[in-house]
Structure 1
Amino acid sequence: MMPPFYRILEISVYSLLNFLPYLFLALYPFREHLRYSRQATCMLAALVALLQMALGLLASFSPTDRKGFVSASSTALYFLFYFCSVRAHPGKTLFTLLMLSNIGNLVVVCSKCLEGQIFPGLAVQTYRWSFTVLMAAVQAVILIPLFLYIRNVYSDAVEKEADASIWRYLWLIPATFYLLWFYHLYGSGQSGLDVALQPANALFLLCINLGAFLIYHIVARLLSEYCRNMELEQQNHMLLLENLQYVNLKDRIQETRRAEHDLRHHMALMAAYLEDGEYDRLRAYLDEYRSSLPEDSQAVFCRNHTANLLLSYFARQATDAGAGFAVYGNLPANLGIAESDLSVILGNLLENALQACMAQEGSRRQIVFRGKMEGQCLLVTVDNTFEGELRQDPNGALLSTKRGGSGLGLESVRHIAARYGGMLRTECRDGMFCASVLLKL
């Protein structure tokens, strides 16, 4: 028997209201990372919305034993569309989906609880207009502020290219709260409707979501702060490059000025030798003068300007500290990597190696740099001698000798390597600390 049109309309409106706002909120943080164009994504979303309406109607008029299967199919369709539409780390998308699922559950329970207080006769029925109207009102109260938060805070945290390993575990936070809600709803022995109609349960779920949202906010702020520290680290190394260029230019200007100042005296003496016919003394003086001239160029370790500048600087620092400095390989002028990223990688690895050598008391102090291109991959290694034992946290990450916590420099290198689809590996062998970075350019 065909159900009445008003019932089809009630269920269809509810299905759309329970799907489209959350889909929009879930896609918004990844609007610049969609797998398809925005037009194609909207068309697919419209198709999925029609399928959700059909599944909602099927669930409403199907036998009780089939409702669970239809509901699971609806959830699976939503997840499948979302993961196929967004191009981001699975941990990010799963964190976002579970976070919004928890909020969606809160909206449904609060709406049903209000319906039970205002329309008790309709509340025991499924998907009536009273429930849809109250759910729209609850959504306006909760989802509008949530959208502003996602736009101003959460999107910024998601956009940051934090270390992928962080997102492998962060999604467990909303998953834990989801399991708490699931257990509270179905573990009591009561039906979902009876649980939702009790104000105490709605209040309990509200408290759970408030606590969860506080943790979400802390996570978002920590991620933003973490990435801001990475950006500051990059800026510091760019300032180091600019300072090195300024110092080199200043030295060249001073050398030129000294040479210009002394040149007239040399010319006067050479003119006197020439007038007196003392050609042998003139030739000897010219040879001596030529050997006293400063080098007209700095040491050239490779064709890449940024790498050569840093290698030249740390080579001088290592020489002053009494450490050997060897360079093998020649990096090409164009590496296909941002100058700031290359500066952070080389600057941190060479600085750590130099500090380790300066902390040694023995005479065997050595820094070895190797760099080469293999196909579309850049491989850089920095090995240095060291004394003592490396300090590591329980997860195996190296601890800084300067700050006591995790080394920010190596974290910056690991962060950049992850953005290029590469990795950072550190190990100790034969009295040497070896740091290797692989980037896919």
Structure 2
Amino acid sequence: MPPLYRLVEVGIYSLLNFLPLMVLALYPFRHRLRFSKTATVGLVVALSLVQIFLGWQAAFFSTNAGLLSAVSTLLYAAFYFFAVKVKVGKTGFTLLLLSNNASFIVITSKCLEGILFPSLAYESYRWSFSLCMLMTEAVVWGPLFIYMKKVYTPAVEKEPSGLEWRYLWLIPFTFYIIWYYTLYGNSTKSSLELALEPKNTIALFFINAGAFLVYYIVALLVIEQQKNLRLQENNHLLEMQNLQYDYLQDKIKETRRYKHDVRHHIALMQELLKKGEYDKLSEYLNSFRDSMPDISERIYCKNTSVSALLAYFAQIAESSGIEYKVSADIPDDIKIDITDLSVLFGNLIENAIHGCVSDSAKNKKIIIRAKADSYSLCLAVDNTFTGTILTDPEGGFLSSKRKGKGIGTESVKNIAAKYNGVAKFEYGDGMFYASVMLNI
């Protein structure tokens, strides 16, 4: 049985090597955890105890430390992939990014120990190593946390329109291979001997700095793409508002023309009435009724913006021969950003109309159901569609108008994620079903 102070030394090293890495890995996805925060903290504590136990096994009771190190890595990787509810590409990128930095911290700490405590540097898991690791982490993890908070987290919080994260994880994976080869691919020197030579640590510092610069640029590019996507959404919303304005202007002109011509109609009807030509008068009245413009105001719900959108698309649907049914209960003071609300309704209904117009089915219809209360907004837009649905390998819907994912469905998914909600798209039996639930 090893002495107590050695058990404490190994335990402290295990915690320093595991906890900061796990905290930084969970931070960008703290709002996308599979379990509650309390349960997640409990699981992290339990996993920390397992890491300490494996550290003791590797230091005192086992001859195969490499195998135990692999088991330790697999355990925290498996926990991380399971605890975070995001795509594997994002979690893989995050874990590899932080693992590479953790390797740099270990090498730098051992080099620093060799300079400050040369007599202890060749021993495993001594207090001197933990002290040097604590100093190194104080220097490295601070800037890294700022990067994770200010740059990386905004990049992973939303989903771009492409398949970026399916491939971006290969960047830190490439640097991981470089690290692995540098530490374990040298047949003449052990990793300990390499770490104790300052020139190797300096070389690895520049490799890590270059890798960090690449990570920084990648995050900025993803953020820029998200801004472009948001700009496309706003432009699309502006186009819809312009179309609504044109529609209202046409209605105003039509009403003015009707008011201008109505006195001529009255004069003619009076003349027919004087002459007793009642059949001609009846025929003329029927013709006049059919020619009257539709000046009635359609109000679908109390929210004026949503009601205006529903009324605008009602005209398009009717002119396209599409049956249009709406059941909406949206209050005017709903606590959802008006832009998000307009993009949500506009994209789903526009996609439904496009699906009906491009479909060969005879009885085309769109059914819209929407209801909001103090806690949530539920929206369902169903439309007939018997054509072919284009999807990517991940199950996302591809645009029929351009190459790549459909901006409309991706915008809806982004809005659902923003409000911790869910967006579902299904199709079958000649219908396409889109449904969204937002938490308010």
Q: TM-score, normalization: structure 1? A: 0.73
Structure 1 residues 252 and 326: CA distance shift in structure 2, 3 A: closer
Identify which of 123, 126, 145 aligns with 1:125: 123
Structure 1 residue 11: Cα displacement: 1.7
Q: Distance in 1 between matches of 2:296 and 2:386?
A: 25
Cα pair 1:422 1:439 within 8 Å, conserved: yes
Structure 1 residue 112: Cα displacement: 1.0
Cα pair 1:368 1:382 within 8 Å, conserved: yes
Point out where structure 2 has 5 or more consecutive residues left out of the alignment. Answer: 298-306, 329-339, 368-379, 389-396, 415-422
Cα pair 1:353 1:383 within 8 Å, conserved: no
Which residue of structure 2 lines up, in the alignment, with residue 197 of structure 1? Answer: 196
Which deviates more, 157-166 or 109-118? 157-166
AA paired with 1:134? Answer: C
AA paired with 2:48? Answer: A
Q: Aligned ranges for residues 284-363 of structure 1 at < 5 Å?
A: 285-295=284-294, 309=312, 313=316, 340-341=343-344, 343-344=346-347
Identify which of 98, 101, 104 aligns with 2:102: 104
Deviations 1:365-402 (A, max 9, x none): x88586778xx995775989xxxxxxxxxxxx99999x
Identify which of 399, 407, 412 aligns with 1:412: 407
Q: Aligned ranges for residues 67-216 of structure 1 at < 5 Å?
A: 67-163=65-161, 165-189=163-187, 190-216=189-215
Structure 1 residue 12: Cα displacement: 1.6
Q: Distance in 2 between matches of 1:24 and 1:89?
A: 19
Structure 1 residues 5 and 223: CA distance shift in structure 2, 3 A: same
AA paired with 1:171? Answer: W
1:122 aligned counterpart, secondary structure: coil
Which deviates more, 265-274 or 227-236? 265-274
Q: TM-score, normalization: structure 2? A: 0.73
**Sequence identity of aligned pairs in percent?**
41
Q: Distance in 1 between matches of 2:356 and 2:287?
A: 39
Q: Distance in 2 between matches of 1:291 and 1:310?
A: 22
Which deviates more, 39-48 or 241-250? 241-250
Structure 1 residue 21: Cα displacement: 0.9
Cα pair 2:47 2:76 within 8 Å, conserved: yes
Cα pair 2:117 2:128 within 8 Å, conserved: yes
Which residue of structure 2 lines up, in the alignment, with residue 22 of structure 1? Answer: 21
AA paired with 2:118? Answer: P
Cα pair 1:29 1:158 within 8 Å, conserved: yes
Which residue of structure 2 lines up, in the alignment, with residue 244 of structure 1? Answer: 243
Q: Aligned ranges for residues 353-432 of structure 1 at < 5 Å?
A: 407=403, 411-413=406-408, 415=410, 420=423, 422=425
User: Pairwise CA RMSD of aligned residues?
Assistant: 4.1
Which deviates more, 119-128 or 269-278? 269-278
Cα pair 1:234 1:344 within 8 Å, conserved: no
Structure 1 residue 179: Cα displacement: 0.8
Structure 1 residues 377 and 242: CA distance shift in structure 2, 3 A: closer
Point out where structure 1 has 5 or more consecutive residues left out of the alignment. Answer: 299-303, 317-324, 355-365, 385-396, 425-435
Which residue of structure 2 lines up, in the alignment, with residue 428 of structure 1? Answer: none
Which residue of structure 2 lines up, in the alignment, with residue 10 of structure 1? Answer: 9
Cα pair 1:15 1:56 within 8 Å, conserved: yes
1:34 aligned counterpart, secondary structure: coil
Cα pair 1:244 1:313 within 8 Å, conserved: no
AA paired with 1:224? Answer: I
